[in-house]
Every structure is written in C-alpha cells, then in structure tokens.
Amino acid sequence: MKNSFGQNVTVTVFGESHGAGVGAVLDGMPAGIPVDEAFIKHQLSLRRPSGDISTPRVEADNYIIYSGVLGGFTTGTPICVVVPNENTNSKDYAADRFIVRPSHADFVAFKKYNGFEDYRGGGHFSGRVTAGVVAVGAVAISALKQKGIKIGTHISKCAGVDDAAFANYETEIDALNNMSFAVLDNAKGEQMKEKILSAKAECDSVGGVLETAVLGLPVGVGEPWFDTLEGMLSHALFSIPAVKGVEFGLGFGIADLMGSQANDELEVKNGEIITKTNNNGGINGGISNGMPVVLRCAVKPTPTIAKPQSTVNFSTNENTVLQSLGRHDPCIVHRARVVVDSMVAITLCDALTAKFGTDWWQK
C-alpha cells in the first residue's frame, strides 16, 4: 500500500478513522522555515465540523509534532505530526462489517487487503486521514508565503447554488483563508447552507465544486509530459477522498471555443510579460507561465446517508438494504477546501524545490 507522494518534498500519510490517531510526515522541507503552531491550529479548525451542516463527530485535533521542528523552525529532517483520535464510535460499524456502503471503499478494500483492513469508519480510506495532511500542509503554506506565493479556495458551487467569481485575487484570498464557509458572496453562502440543511432533513447529502487560485508562482515551474504541473497537482488532488474531477482554467469549457477565443494573447504590462486572459489557468506546456494558477475540484455528495439503499452482503453474497445510522456529514465541500489548499501547497513546494533547490527557500 503506497502512502507517499512527491519527489523532492514528499508527504506520507498514516492512521485510520477509528485507530489511535492519524498523521503525516513531510520530508524534504529545508531547514529554517518558520512553523507557526497557531496557524496549524487555525488550518485544522477550518477542516473541523461546523454546526448543523457537518457531522456531529467533532475532534479536538490536539496535534503533536514529533520531529523536524525546533524552536519554531524546521530542522531539515522529516516533520512528523500526529493528530490523536478522541471521539470514535467503532460499534457503529461492527454490525455491518460485510455490508457494502454504496460509493465507499468497503468492498474494494476487503478484496485488496484480503480482509485484514481496518474497516471501522472507512479506516485508512476515511476523510479523517486528511487531518494529518492539513497539519503538515500548514508548514508548506507558510513556506510559500515567505516567497510571496498565496493559495486560496472558495466554494464555487454547492447543491446547485453558484458563488460569485473571483474578482480581486489578492484581497479575496486573504478573506477566504479566514472563513469557515469560504464563499465570495455571503448571500450565496447562506443559500448553500439552506440547501445542505434541506438535504440533511431528507436524510441525504450534497456535493459541490471548489475553485482554487495560486498567486505569485514564478514562471517555469513544472515539467513537460509526465510531471506537468497540472499532472502533479491532479495526482495530489485526486488522492483527497470524494474528489472526482479536476480541471484547470476553463477546463472542459475550453473545448467549445474557437482557437481565437481560447488562446491567451500576450502583452507587456509594467515591464512584465502577461496574458490578457487566463483561459489556460496559468499553465502552458505543463509549466507555470506567471499568471494565477486557477483550478477546480468536483467533490461528490457524502456517500454515507441515512436513506435506505440497495447493496450487498459480500460475506453471504446476498442482496440486502443498508440504512446508515452513524455520524456523517450532509456535505463535506466546505471542510475539503482546506485539504485542497494543503495538497496544492505541498505539491508546489515539491515542484519549486525541483526547479530552484533547497537553498532558494532561505534566500
């Protein structure tokens, strides 16, 4: 089972939903990067359940940094962060051990690991594992900030309700990063919340789309062909549970345009070469072009719902009906936002180190 990603800066995840804890190891980060523990706590709070629109399982996320940090700075050795699990209910899953929850990994995990997998709450496949990613992602985000690179994500769509589009990346990203429900139009955000609560009342769930912008990324980051910037970011983002689609710039919409409409024409402005539009999302030939990198992730509705659903018992090979009565989110889009930011940050740290080396971070 492979649990590591990256080449120069790597992240390894570990733990299970109902085990002793979850966590991550961030390796390859240079020494001397400030580690702001208040910021780590803030980032974890953005992933934490929030009121009636989230699961009643709320964890304190009292993380522990076991290595790689001394005196508030990275030491250059692997950064290991553990987030203990303190609010588990494993009995919710024991009775339905062999009942497949539709759209979950229950059956495929059983087949892959020959029945030895931790099945409780999805085990290693659970969104709970992303807590470790967010904790070490905070270190990556801080490193990028020092180099003038910002990342921000808003809920572009949820339950069929569209948020406003980005208008001023610089100011809007700063605001979004301090919001528990990250939208650009608060009225639209309230409509989304109403839709989430309506789905919850009907024992159902909803999904949505997250849109991310990266500012300040230098020109020339990424590789042609197999390690394109889009490819590496997509690889990382598809590792997040519930992400079912990733697109850059206009994405699939660009296929409906003429070349004259889709092309990003160039100009010199204030001495800098820029493009007049950003239909390609800040990437050409797999390499950053200096414009904002803009991407979107499709997040599916939470698969665990309280409605009865047809499924199978793979122990008896019989059809059955499942009604999940455990704790679950009617929507995870707002919580997944900070996970996306974290995975983007870790991937960019890897790509930047490949181009500039570790000493670049300390200049």
Task: Quote the pLDDT of residue 88.
Answer: 63
d(CA 129, CA 86): 14
Domain count for the chain, please give it: 1
* 154 φ, ψ (degrees, to nearest 5): -125, 160
What's the pLDDT at 90?
57
> What pTM did the predictor assign?
0.95
pLDDT, position 275:
97
pLDDT in the model for residue 129: 94
CA angle (295, 300, 302) in 5-degree steps: 135
Buried b (16+ CB within 10 A) or exposed e, 251-277: eeeeeeeeeeebebeeeeeeeeeebee
Q: What is the CATH number of the domain that holds 311?
A: 3.60.150.10
Q: Can you list the residues of the chain whose pLDDT is less than 50?
A: none
pLDDT value at position 327? 67
How many helices (H) and strands (E) the chain has is answered by: 9, 18
Which residue in 363, 338, 323 sits closest to 153, CA to CA? Answer: 338
Q: Which residues form the domain of 223?
A: 4-362
- pLDDT at 43 (0 to 100): 97
The reported pLDDT for the residue numbered 84 is: 94
Place of tokens 């390894």: 12
| Predicted local distance difference test score (pLDDT) of residue 8 | 97
What is the rounded (10 degree) CA torsion for 191, 154, 88, 127?
120
- Cα separation, 165 vs 171, whole angstroms: 13
pLDDT of residue 42: 97
